[in-house]
Amino acid sequence: MSIKDFFSESNSIWIDLIVFSLGAAAYGMMEVLFRGHTHWTMVLTGGACVLTLYYLSGWLLAMPLIAAAATGALIVTFYEFFVGVVVNLRLGWDVWDYSAMPGNVLGQICPAFTGIWFAICLAFFGTVKLLS
């Protein structure tokens, strides 16, 4: 089996697993760099976010860069909110708490972190568009 065969459409699950794993690793590493630690739920959330952005990449890259970055930031914020509702509010695991941040929603999301996701998406989508 050649590399080309491995990445054929019939083996797309491998692409999905690679994208998910890269997203999980990147999200976890960003958390460790920013907060000094992470939680397994955030690693899985990162993988899900990046896989979603990958599935939507054709649509996102067809948008103006600012719109793509804003959409990406909202997608990540959406995931963060719903994971937070489950793991922090429902299960009480206290993985994070943005209650002290201005504009927070139930302590799970806040405009400051949506802005950070916007900047990351802007840099990423800008790089992809530049290289395309």
Range of the domain at 20: 3-131
Q: Distance between CA 107 and CA 81 in Å, rounded? A: 9
Domain count along the chain: 1
Per-residue pLDDT of the chain (132 residues; tens, 9 = 90+): 555 565 566 678 889 999 999 999 999 999 999 999 999 999 999 999 999 999 999 999 999 999 999 999 999 999 999 999 999 999 999 999 999 999 999 999 999 999 999 999 999 999 999 998
- Is the overall model pTM greater than 0.85, yes or no? yes
Of 68, 81, 22, 72, whose CA–CA distance to 47 is shortest?
Answer: 22
